[in-house]
Amino acid sequence: MLVFNIFGSLAQLERDLICDRTNAGLKAARERESLGGRRPVITPDKLRKARDNIAAGLTVREAATRLKVG
């Protein structure tokens, strides 16, 4: 029984350390004003062009194909 308690305590300690390191990394990223996640596929310029193409009569699929976003 003692061994299980020791392993459980070590696992909890490791979990807490991982949590602390993750939070420290997120805080450092916020201070660097680093955005996380995937970069946007479509830029504001491509979005404007897509809307212009759709207004000109193209389907959404055709506009996306022309701009290579879909």
pTM score: 0.52
Residues 46 and 57 in one domain: yes
Range of the domain at 15: 1-37
- Whether the per-residue pLDDT at 70 is higher than 80: the answer is no
Q: How many domains does the chain have?
A: 2
The Cβ of residue 50 has, within 10 Å, a number of other Cβ atoms equal to 20
How high is the pLDDT of residue 38?
A: 84
- Are the CB atoms for 69 and 46 separated by under 8 Å? yes
Residues 4-53 have pLDDT tens digits of: 999 999 999 999 999 999 999 999 999 998 877 888 878 899 999 999 99
Alpha carbons 22 and 40: distance in angstroms, whole number: 24
31 vs 17, 19, 41, 68, CA distance in Å?
21, 18, 25, 34
Q: Do 12 and 28 fall into the same domain?
A: yes
Residue 18: the pLDDT is 98
Q: Are residues 42 and 18 in the same domain?
A: no
Does 14 share its domain with 29? yes
Residue 53 and residue 33 in one domain: no
